Amino acid sequence: MQNSVNKKIPERKCIGCSEKKAKKDLIRIVRLPDGQGVELDKTGKKSGRGAYICPSASCLKKAKKRLEYSLECKIPEEVFQKLEMEIESDRQ
């Protein structure tokens, strides 16, 4: 009998389109602890409250208000600009 290990691929829901996708295919936005701000988390391991978004402009547009609700804070415009740049670089 063979002992095969089927690893489960972690999935998360995009806050823009509400579709479940593989965690590695999404961009994580994290609210850092103690009110230190909001930033992109490319590693997926930073501590803090996180939300996920697809790397698409349409999801980003839908997610702007939802992100603030989900992360329970006001998100600075520069975070959205970084997200837009990240999405543009993923397309190329």
The answer to whether the Cα torsion of 87, 55, 41, 52 is positive or negative is positive
Tens-digit pLDDT profile for residues 4-52: 678 899 999 999 999 999 999 999 999 999 878 999 998 889 999 999 9
Residue 2: pLDDT over 60: no
The pLDDT score that the predictor gives to residue 77 is 92
Instruction: Specify the pLDDT at position 71.
Output: 92
Spell out the domains of the chain, with CATH numbers in brackets.
11-91 (3.30.1230.10)
- pTM for the model stands at 0.85
CA torsion sign for 75, 36, 81, 44 is: negative
pLDDT of residue 67: 92
